[in-house]
Structure 1
Amino acid sequence: MEEKVVYIAGMGLIGASLALGIRRQHPDYKILGYNRSDQSRQIALERGIVDEATADFKAFAPLADVIILAVPIKQTIDFIKVLAQLDLKENVIITDAGSTKLKIIQAAEKYLPADKVQFVGSHPMAGSHKTGAIAANVHLFENAYYIFSPTRLTREETIPRLKDLLLGLKARFIEVEAAEHDLVTSQISHFPHILASALMEQAGDYANGHELTNHFAAGGFRDMTRIAESEPGMWTSILLSNSDAVLERLTDFKNRLDAVAELIGQKDEEAIWHFFDAGRRKRKEMEIHKRAGVDSFYDLFVDVPDEEDVILQILELLRGTSLVNVHINEENRDDINGILQISFKSESDLLHAQTLISQHTDYHVYLD
């Protein structure tokens, strides 16, 4: 790829992590950054995430061969309008990192000159409840889907050149039409965030009269509501930019809840069993257990006995290894071991951990 100057607007988790991935594969490229917040700009400069940073979006745009808009959706559309008025490099590639695609692409096709710029919609399907440049992680996108949505401004060479630029992310590149992207993400991303926040609101209100709710909220409730900690401004923007699809999913879910409520009211034991069995089977069939999606982790499982300091012993072996999460899958039977689940972001850390634990313990270690 000939491009040497990359301009990333937005030094949050996504933008700063993109910069780290680009620098890993292309250390000779000059990376420029924009961020309104002084703190994120300073962190990005101190950590070497970018070579230069500005609070004026227009300042670096004419210098760039590639411009990545890693800002909220409404701001992305506003920046597209600004770029349309600037004297940019000929054939500059412009892309975004938004969680919805159709409205962004419609804006790009409306305002950007097709004879002067290239544009393709992008969505790196990775994230965290952590925010800002301080949370940047070069491993964030490894094995996650990185979606490209072509537009009328996408040329034959646009996506291949972006793939080369982003090779250091170690992501799984895929092309999806914008409308289909927004429909699918309304189901597997946007609606679940509504559900998680609604569950937290319900539980919080319930705890006012039942204090133990706050103390017993663990296990499944914890896993289902983790994403409720996500940044509210971003999710407001996402829902409003994909409102029709999200509302349709909400209506569908209400109908499903009503159907389950009717089964419970009728005390239809067989139908309720089939309801849970269908959910269990469908989850096993989905790619949730494979290396793709928003939370693309490598999971290691260790059968551990119920003995003091076992978990600490294993974690001590992994000192210096980057962990994403540690979870104990407790069993209800006394005659079998519990299962320690350790999640990693990179395959190298996973294999290293597997070797260490296997060499220094006699516990059964296996991969998902």
Structure 2
Amino acid sequence: MSKTIYIAGLGLIGASIALGIRRDHPEYRLLGYNRSQESRIIALEAGMIDAATDCFEKFAAEADVIILCLPIKQTIQFIKKLATLDLKEQVLVTDAGSTKAEIVAAADTYLAPKNVNFIGGHPMAGSHKTGAAAADVHLFENAYYIFTPSLATKKDAIARMTDLLSGLRARFIEISAQDHDRITSQVSHFPHVLASSLMNQAGAYVSDYPLTNNFAAGGFRDMTRIAESEPGMWTSILLSNRESILERMQEFQARLDQVAHMIQAGDEEAIWQFFEAGRQTRKAMEIHKRAGVDSFYDLFITVPDQEDIILAILEILRGISVVNIRINEENREDIHGILQITFKNKRDQQEAFRRLEEKTSYSISIE
């Protein structure tokens, strides 16, 4: 049976969700709201949606499901607006916000009294790219898609959402809004604070030691990649999850103080244990397992340091979606480097491995 799905916000997340719904439910009617005309035009021309508007209220009454893919403050504003509109009796409302407690509280305050079915949502995937032009049907594959039920959530909400979003190929999980915000404060929100702090520190250090910019490769690059994220979004996240993030910062400061004491005391054993504990903890995390939060699939290729070698490899991989590519050990003295190519799913990784084994003599490994 055909249904009408209304996606408010046609940025990377909203447009990618639309593509996922299209993949498994081509018979569904998809409507979109976006303030920017550019993303509306892109989404329409690409067939992501069937109709678009810059007036949120226009399609709300037609929808069986409404998905709010908007900044946190705007999501809360739209939840308040939905409580004033004449919606379908069985309408299901959800969101895609990076923090959940404030959004769920708004739903409980404004939608629950209206008997509107609401469930919080957070697809834990993203990209440095933005807008509908960056939409990717593979964006959520193997990533966690979190649902946070509340007082406004009816029994059918999760089943309806997992069916609707089956084309995302995500891993659906249910936790409380409070637990969501505590966990993401540790593994997502606080790391962004750290990354930007490291960049700001390094930026100040450059005035005294200009070569800092030249030597900032390897581990520093990996640790600070997320500092390039959009500032407005992260300002909103920090302010909507203050308590948990401040707790993480205070606890981390205590850990830094402990390490400082170890160094001051010259305690070699304690320092070794510090690094060993971190190493073992990371090895035990899902970072090294498939279908973790960032479920990427890597190929490592030993390549000679020759002009156009990367272009030649990418030509062999033409038609396969590549998430990331980089050369490890950039400050090397030998003639070979390790080219790391990242794929979103196992199928692409294995096809790339097959092609490269067939068409090159390079040493290739899978991790």
TM range (shorter): over 0.9
Q: Take 1:74 and 1:330, find their aligned partners in 2: how far apart are those partners?
A: 42
Q: Is the 8 A contact 1:10 1:34 kept in 2?
A: yes
Task: Provide the aligned length of Structure 1 versus Structure 2.
Answer: 367
1:324 matched to which residue of 2? 323
Partner residue in 1 for 2:136: 137
* Equivalent residue number for residue 191 of structure 1: 190
Q: Residues 291 and 211 of structure 1: is their aligned pair in 2 closer, same or farther, counting only changes over 3 Å?
A: same
- What fraction of aligned residue pairs are identical, expressed as a percent? 65
Contact 1:3/1:66, CA 8 A, preserved across alignment:
no
Specify the code of the residue in structure 1 equivalent to 2:154.
R
Structure 1 position 98, deviation (Å): 0.6
Match of 2:276 in 1: 277
CA deviations over 1:277-325 (Å, ceiling 9, x no partner): 1111111111112233443222122344556655444222112221111
Equivalents in 2 of 1:39, 1:331: separation in Å? 39
| Aligned counterparts, 1:211-360, within 5 A | 211-304=210-303, 310-330=309-329, 338-360=337-359
Q: How far apart, CA to CA, are the structure 1 residues paired with 2:264 and 2:335?
A: 37
**How many Å separate the matches in 2 of 1:84 and 1:293?**
36
Contact 2:83 2:114 in 1 (8 A): no
What is the aligned partner in structure 2 of residue 77 from structure 1? 76
For 1:220 and 1:98, the matched residues in 2 are separated by 30
Asked if 1 retains the 8 angstrom alpha-carbon contact of 2:218 and 2:328, the reply is no
Structure 1 residue 30, shift from structure 2 partner: 1.0
**Residues 239 and 292 of structure 1: CA distance in aligned 2, closer, same or farther (over 3 Å):** farther
Q: Which moved more, 1:188-197 or 1:254-263?
A: 254-263
Secondary structure of the 2:61 match is helix
SS in 2 for 1:121: strand
Partners of 1:13 and 1:208 in 2: CA distance: 37
Cα distance, 1:89 vs. partner? 0.5
Tell me the distance in 1 between the aligned counterparts of 2:174 and 2:272. Answer: 39
Tell me, yes or no, if structure 1 residue 40 matches structure 2 residue 8.
no
Alpha-carbon separation, structure 2, partners of 1:337 and 1:157: 56
AA partner of residue 214 (structure 1): N
- The offset of 1:115, in angstroms, is 6.0
Change (3 A) 1:332 1:197: closer
Which consecutive residues of structure 1, in runs of 5 or more, have no partner in the other structure? none
- Contact 2:305 2:335 survives alignment (8 Å): no
Q: Is the 8 A contact 2:80 2:110 kept in 1?
A: yes
Q: Give the match's secondary structure for 1:211.
A: coil
Q: Does 1:205 align with 2:213?
A: no
- Residues 183-205 of structure 1, C-alpha deviation per residue, up to 9 Å, x if partnerless? 10000000001011111111111
The structure-2 alpha-carbon separation of the partners of 1:327 and 1:185, relative to structure 1 and needing over 3 Å to count, comes to: same
Return closer, same or farther for 1:241/1:258 CA change in 2, 3 Å cut-off.
Answer: same
Contact 2:2 2:27 in 1 (8 A): no
CA contact (8 A) 2:119 2:147 kept: yes
Q: Which runs of 5+ in 2 are unaligned?
A: none
**Aligned-partner residue type, residue 215 of structure 2:** F
Find the counterpart in structure 1 of residue 87 from structure 2: 88
* Cα deviation, residue 334, structure 1: 8.1
> How many angstroms apart in 2 are the aligned matches of 1:127 and 1:333?
32
- What is the rounded CA distance, in whole Å, between the counterparts of 1:83 and 1:333 in structure 2? 58
Native 8 Å contact 1:44 1:50 kept in 2: yes
Q: Does 1:363 align with 2:362?
A: yes
Structure 2 length normalisation: TM-score? 0.94
8 A contact 1:61–1:88 mirrored in 2: yes
Change (3 A) 1:56 1:328: same
Residue identity opposite 1:287 in structure 2 = E
- SS at 1:31 equivalent: strand
> In the aligned structure 1, how far is the partner of 2:84 from the partner of 2:93?
14
Instruction: State the distance in 1 between where 2:144 and 2:294 align.
Output: 10
Q: How far 1:332 sits from its partner (Å)?
A: 9.2
Paired AA for residue 137 in structure 1: D
Whether contact under 8 Å (1:125, 1:293) holds in the other structure is: no
**Counterparts in 2 of 1:337 and 1:17: CA distance versus 1, 3 Å:** same
TM-score normalised by the chain length of structure 1 = 0.94
User: What is the rounded CA distance, in whole Å, between the counterparts of 1:77 and 1:309 in structure 2?
Assistant: 50
Q: Which one-letter code corresponds to 1:174 in the other structure?
A: I
**Which stretch of structure 1 is more off in the superposition, 160-169 or 302-311?**
302-311
The equivalent residue for 2:29 is 30
1:246–1:162 distance in 2 versus 1, CA, 3 Å: same
CA contact (8 A) 1:331 1:337 kept: no
Q: Distance in 2 between matches of 1:294 and 1:230?
A: 18
What residue number does 1:7 align with? Answer: 6
**Equivalent residue of 1:274, what SS?**
helix
- Letter of the 1:172 partner, please give it: R
Residue 298 of structure 2: SS of its match in structure 1? strand
Task: Give 1:134-173 correspondences, 5 Å limit.
Answer: 134-173=133-172
The runs of at least 4 consecutive aligned structure 1 residues that moved more than 6 Å come to: 331-337
Local SS of the residue matching 1:48: coil
Give, as a single letter, the amino acid of the residue that structure 1 aligns with 2:95. Answer: D
